[in-house]
Amino acid sequence: MLPLGFPLHPALLLPDDQRAEVAYEGWERSLANVQSFYVMGTDKQLSAYRIPDVKAVYAVWPQAHKVLVASDWWNLPFNWSDRIAYQQFLRAQSGNPVLFSKAASIVLTIAVAAAQKDENQKVFADMKIIPACFHIDGFDQRKYSALLQGVPMLIKEALEYMDQSNETLLIDMAKGFGVTKNTAERFRRFISERFPNEPIGKVTTRQVRRTDGFVSRHASHLENVLV
């Protein structure tokens, strides 16, 4: 039996305003297979449904897997697995990005665990999978170095503007590591305001035109994910 609120498609767990950009044709075998998805709200759900810890959630994975296999999700071309390591649940809870299939499986398992406490659980409505696969077209290490050369305090100013704290986040972005749309758009606005005559590309999830050769990388682990 499917838990209450089970989405017809796992992409419905993505934010409404980002779904079209992330879930483009063929993303199941490309973008979804990069560790770029944050599971938001795990601790809140554990508290709401009196689930003691993530280990108790993981113990329910066998039941959740049966639900997954019996659902239409299983026939979608994601990298579903019969097994999921406990470490993946811990990664998600601690704010580290995982593959989309793992993120969706974790949300499903939390919903199944919550349903054992309250059949009217609202896990699917309350939790979201936040994608951190956004880049700024043309922002690479050359562009970063050029901007930094002109403004030595660039990093400090930019981080304050973006509500971020890790000093190496910008170089991660320049190297091609993905960030959330919120962070990418804030940085783009900062560049536009701080350097009004400096051309800056669009925020995108697609293959980016770069001068240093682009290789799609997993999400930066240095971001403070703001929702």
Share above pLDDT 70 across residues of the chain, in percent, rounded to a whole number: 94
Task: Give the Å distances, CA to CA, from 204 to 94, 141, 167, 183.
Answer: 26, 17, 23, 12
pLDDT value, residue 209: 43
8 Å CB contact between 189 and 196: no
- Residue 59's identity, in one-letter code, is A
What would the pLDDT profile of 85-143 be if each residue is shown by its tens digit? 999 999 999 999 999 999 999 999 999 999 999 999 999 999 999 999 999 998 999 99
Strands (E) in 156-219, as ranges, are: 177-178, 203-204, 217-219
pLDDT value, residue 211: 44
Residue 167 φ then ψ, to 5°: -65, -20
Residues 110 and 170 in one domain: no
Distance CA 133, CA 5 (A): 26
Distance CA 218, CA 35 (A): 5
Half-sphere exposure of 8 (CA within 13 A, CB side): 0
Residues 186 and 209 in one domain: yes
Residues 127 and 208 in one domain: no
Examine the pLDDT at 226 and tell me if it is beyond 80: no
Q: How much is the average pLDDT of 156-185? A: 94
Burial environment of residue 95 by CB neighbours within 10 A (0 to 12, 13 to 18, 19 or more): middle
pLDDT value, residue 149: 87
Residues 190 and 147 in one domain: yes
| pLDDT band at residue 215 under the 50/70/90 scheme | low
Domain that holds residue 96: 10-131
Residues 121 and 161 in one domain: no
pLDDT value, residue 212: 47
Assess if residue 1 is contained within a domain. no
Domain count, the chain: 2
Residue 36 φ then ψ, to 5°: -140, 25
Distance CA 190, CA 161 (A): 7
Residues 103 and 141 in one domain: no
Residues 100 and 160 in one domain: no
Assess if residue 225 is contained within a domain. no
Structure tokens at 46: 């554990």
| pLDDT band at residue 186 under the 50/70/90 scheme | very high
pTM: predicted TM-score of the whole model, two decimal places? 0.92
Q: Is 131 helix (H, G, I), strand (E, B) or coil?
A: strand
pLDDT value, residue 216: 56
Residues 81 and 53 in one domain: yes
What would the pLDDT profile of 195-213 be if each residue is shown by its tens digit? 999 888 999 986 544 444 5
Residues 27 and 107 in one domain: yes
Among 101, 131, 161, identify where a domain stops: 131
Residues 24 and 100 in one domain: yes
Antiparallel, parallel or unpaired: β 203-204 and 217-219: unpaired
What would the pLDDT profile of 42-68 be if each residue is shown by its tens digit? 999 999 999 999 999 999 999 999 999
Among 91, 116, 131, identify where a domain stops: 131
pLDDT value, residue 10: 98
Examine the pLDDT at 152 and tell me if it is beyond 80: no
Among 74, 97, 131, identify where a domain stops: 131
Residues 75 and 160 in one domain: no
Assess if residue 180 is contained within a domain. yes
DSSP summary character for residue 77: S
Residues 31 and 127 in one domain: yes
